[in-house]
Amino acid sequence: MESVQSIKQRFGIIGNSATLNRAIEKAIQVAPTDISVLVTGESGVGKESIPKIIHQLSHRKHGKYIAVNCGAIPEGTIDSELFGHEKGAFTGATSTRNGYFEVADGGTIFLDEVGELPLTTQVRLLRVLENGEFIKVGSSKVQKTDVRIVAATNVNMFEAIKKEKFREDLFYRLSTVDINLPPLRERQEDIHILFRKFASDFALKYKMPTIKLTDEAVLILLKYRWSGNIRQLRNVAEQISVLEQNRSVSAATLQSYLPSGSSNLPAIIKTTKSESDFSSEREILYKVLFDMKADLNDLKKLTMELMKSGDVKDVQKDNETLIQKIYGENESETQFDEHVDNLEVLSIPQDTNTNQVFDTEDIKDKYHFAEEIEEEETLSLHDKELELIKKSLQRHNGKRKLAAEELGISERTLYRKIKQFDL
């Protein structure tokens, strides 16, 4: 079995931190087996080195080694890339294609960013892990493959499982052995060594003297968080090597190349609303409208009681709960009396013989009661949605793109609504 030091020299791995050495030791120990391995760690820590070590130290080293970035392949084509497809399986499939699992038979596949796989592809991958079987897209023939899978991710897999973005059974099949690579900030003793190596490489590449850090600059280098890890450190070393005329880099000069802020990474600001966001807001709006409708019905009920009885005190006593709902729980009797001072309460005459209420059309006309009933009947979700779309289209002179942005929906959804409502 090769030593950790010889493996680091062979694969160009720099550093001597205990956590890094432990990760390499695990890779050496697991390499001769066919156990699935999951490499975890932040972006930029060098996770791609571990699968190469495992492959080269395994009995599959003479087989193919294929590295696949799962996050870089569109969701619609990833099944075809991994498992292949038959001719005519989909538009553009002019010939049969062999997928990576067929091509790498007898070798190793490295699935980088495996946490980005769609759920449907995860099901297919689980079948390969369990019994080595897969089916090409557009085929019904089951094929066998003998491939070792090493996966890597910078995603918190337990969070992804909790949010149902990653299958729990697939996670446990992939992570038979979990190798975690530490972030650069936890390998402080390796930071300056790595920087000097990068500076030397770029000096050779660009044919210029090697840059050197002052003691104060080294302290800043070690204290910095390095959220982008080794990749970020390499980029900073390259920038300084190319741009600085003075080959002695001071603390102030180094600081000018380091992004400020706690995260050291640009924030992603959401500037547009998704259709799901608009749906949530629309549900809230509908709830408010329904509540307003209920309040209006309660208010009309109270008004009708006043019109029938003509006695404010009796109505207040019999409808105490309703009055509190409309005017508030702390409403006093005096305040309620003030509310009704300006109301013209009419007694509705009754026929002494039939004891039936007379026709109230005159009363409805006087108090516009019929208009209120008509407004209530037209208070429907369909009408309100139609009204909002009409107003927005009018405001933007029929420009669907601007109207869709104002309404918070996609232009395709707006076009469907226009056809639905025959606008």
Strands 212-213 and 248-249: parallel
Q: Which of 149, 78, 69 is nearest to 109 (CA)?
A: 149
pLDDT at 278: 56
Contact 56, 64 (CB under 8 A): no
Counting runs of H as helices and runs of E as strands, what totals does the chain give? 21, 11
| Domain ranges for the chain | 4-182, 185-256, 275-347
- Expressed in percent and rounded to 5, the helix, strand and coil fractions of the chain are 55, 10, 35
pLDDT at 404: 81
Contact 124, 83 (CB under 8 A): yes
Measured CA to CA, the distance from residue 277 to residue 281 in angstroms comes to: 6
Q: Can you give the three-state secondary structure of 109-178, one letter per residue?
A: EEEECHHHCCHHHHHHHHHHHHHCEEECECCCCEEECCCEEEEEECCCHHHHHHCCCCCHHHHHHHCCEE
pLDDT at 325: 58
User: The tokens of 257 are what?
Assistant: 């190349």
* 187-to-7, 16, 205, 224 alpha-carbon distances in Å: 19, 8, 27, 12
User: The tokens of 383 are what?
Assistant: 């009408």
Confirm or reject CATH 3.30.1540.10 for domain 185-256, answering yes or no: no
Measured CA to CA, the distance from residue 37 to residue 177 in angstroms comes to: 5
Residue 375 sits at φ, ψ, to 5 deg, of: -65, -40
pTM for this structure? Answer: 0.61
pLDDT at 381: 67
User: The tokens of 378 are what?
Assistant: 């037209």
Helix axes 215-223, 188-206, angle to 10 degrees: 120
pLDDT at 261: 52
Which CATH superfamily is 4-182 part of? P-loop containing nucleotide triphosphate hydrolases (3.40.50.300)
pLDDT at 401: 84
Measured CA to CA, the distance from residue 121 to residue 422 in angstroms comes to: 41
* pLDDT tens per residue, range 189-229: 999 999 999 999 999 999 999 999 999 999 999 999 999 99
Positions of the chain with pLDDT lower than 70, given as ranges: 261-282, 302, 305-381
Helix axes 320-327, 333-341, angle to 10 degrees: 80
pLDDT at 355: 45
